Amino acid sequence: MLCIKCGTRDAVYKGLCESCVWEGLAFDKPGSITFTSCPKCGAVKVVNYWAHHEAHERWSRKVYELFRVNEPFKIESFSPIELNKIEDTAYLKATVKRDELDSKTFPLEIPYKRELISCPTCNKVTGSYYESKVQLRGFSEKMSPEINNIHEELLKMVESNQKKDPESFVSKSVQLREGIDIYLGKKKDGDTFAREIQSKTICNVVVSSSLAGIKDGKQFFRFTYMIRILDIEPGSLIFFDNVKYIYQGKRPGGIYVTDLKKGEITLINKRIIDFDKLRETGEKAQKEKFIVLDRTENETNLMNERTYSQITLKSVIKEDQVELFFYEDNYYGILGDK
Ligand SMILES: [Zn+2]
Ligand SMILES: [Zn+2]
């Protein structure tokens, strides 16, 4: 059967030939489009939300949805949208198919308008908005390298969360004599971090909240996570539950201490560590280096590297050199790195 329109070619669809069918293609396209972006962070407004990642792609997908073609055609794909700022025209191409075998690509152009608006996240950041505050403190309310490290970890966590959620941000970090206060855009970040740090190290977390106002018609609370880190320096003398120990160090499961009477290193499980029962005496055991002179089955003779004085330990030391803590006329072993 020949085409009912041109009468020269074979009919393929509803009595029309291939080229006469394509002549009937009609695009339904928007009269104009608007591209709204944030001048501060580059976020793009997509209908009613702000896209901070793959912003141009997300905006483009919404624009694509504004195009229609009539039956029996279907839009197969779009090219990226090119925004020509000088001509105020958006250029793109649409590939249209009639059936699986037959497709054609058409250039399209639409007038577009450019708008620059500061996005809500940037407004919040510059307005020093915050939902939660993390207070990092040391055991004795003074700064320590560990507080700085944990601060770095928190910044990294928020930075990584921000890739998925722009509402995650650090509003500000305030360095104080007794620690660091970090103001966070999202309550959940403070919560997650406090939990994470509790599982990783020995610390005491106190959460408090206060009514900060009304937001979206609801009461809005601000949360404070006061994280007190056990950052006692190894070698410090401590009292725990009224017993005096040399503090050796900590692991996620607890703290290692030397009982002065027994001279042995023992673990105090983190579950029973109560910060109220723990205090530093202010004294420190001195670290001394020794060279092993000789050893028997149960003793080791050592020489102090600094003073050349010799001591005998009632234990076997396998290494050729060793460090010991010295406190009140006695020497104590030091917890290894394992
Ligand atoms: Zn025809
Ligand atoms: Zn922005």
Interval between CA 1 and ligand 1 midpoint (Å):
11
pLDDT attached to residue 158: 92
Quick check: 47 and 35 in contact, CB under 8 A? no
pLDDT attached to residue 337: 67
Interval between CA 22 and ligand 1 midpoint (Å):
10
DSSP 130: -
Q: Which ligand is nearest to the CA of 121?
A: 2
Residue 34 structure tokens: 């608007």
Q: Which ligand is nearest to the CA of 22?
A: 1
Please list, in sequence order, all residues whose beta carbon lies within 8 angstroms of the beta carbon of residue 192, skipping any fewer than 6 positions away. Answer: 157
**How is 276-337 classified by DSSP, letter by letter?**
GGEEEEEEEPEEEEEEEEEE-SS-EEEEETTT--EEEESS---SSEEEEEEETTEEEE----
Tell me how far CA of residue 3 lies from CA of 20, 22, 294, in angstroms.
Answer: 8, 13, 108
Tell me how far CA of residue 2 lies from CA of 23, 25, 103, 114, 286, in angstroms.
Answer: 16, 20, 22, 50, 104
Interval between CA 30 and ligand 1 midpoint (Å):
30
The Cα 93–Cα 199 span in angstroms is: 54
pLDDT attached to residue 190: 96
| Helices of type H across 73-173 | 120-126, 145-164
pLDDT attached to residue 275: 93
Q: Which ligand is nearest to the CA of 12?
A: 1
Residue spans of the chain under pLDDT 70: 126-128, 337-338
Interval between CA 25 and ligand 1 midpoint (Å):
14
- Cis ω for the linkage preceding 30 (within 30 of 0): no
Q: Which ligand is nearest to the CA of 5?
A: 1
The Cα 202–Cα 227 span in angstroms is: 10
pLDDT in tens, 137-152: 999 888 999 999 999 9
Domain boundaries, the chain: 18-116, 128-229, 236-333
The Cα 151–Cα 194 span in angstroms is: 12
Interval between CA 130 and ligand 2 midpoint (Å):
16
pLDDT attached to residue 127: 64
The Cα 263–Cα 251 span in angstroms is: 20
Interval between CA 75 and ligand 1 midpoint (Å):
22
Maximum separation of any 2 CA atoms in the chain, in Å: 116
Interval between CA 41 and ligand 2 midpoint (Å):
4
DSSP 215: E
pLDDT in tens, 276-335: 999 999 999 999 999 999 999 999 999 999 999 999 988 888 889 999 999 998 999 998
Q: Compute the CA torsion angle 314, 316, 321, 326 (nearest 10 deg).
A: -30
State the CB neighbour count (10 A cutoff) for residue 8. 10
Q: Which ligand is nearest to the CA of 126?
A: 2
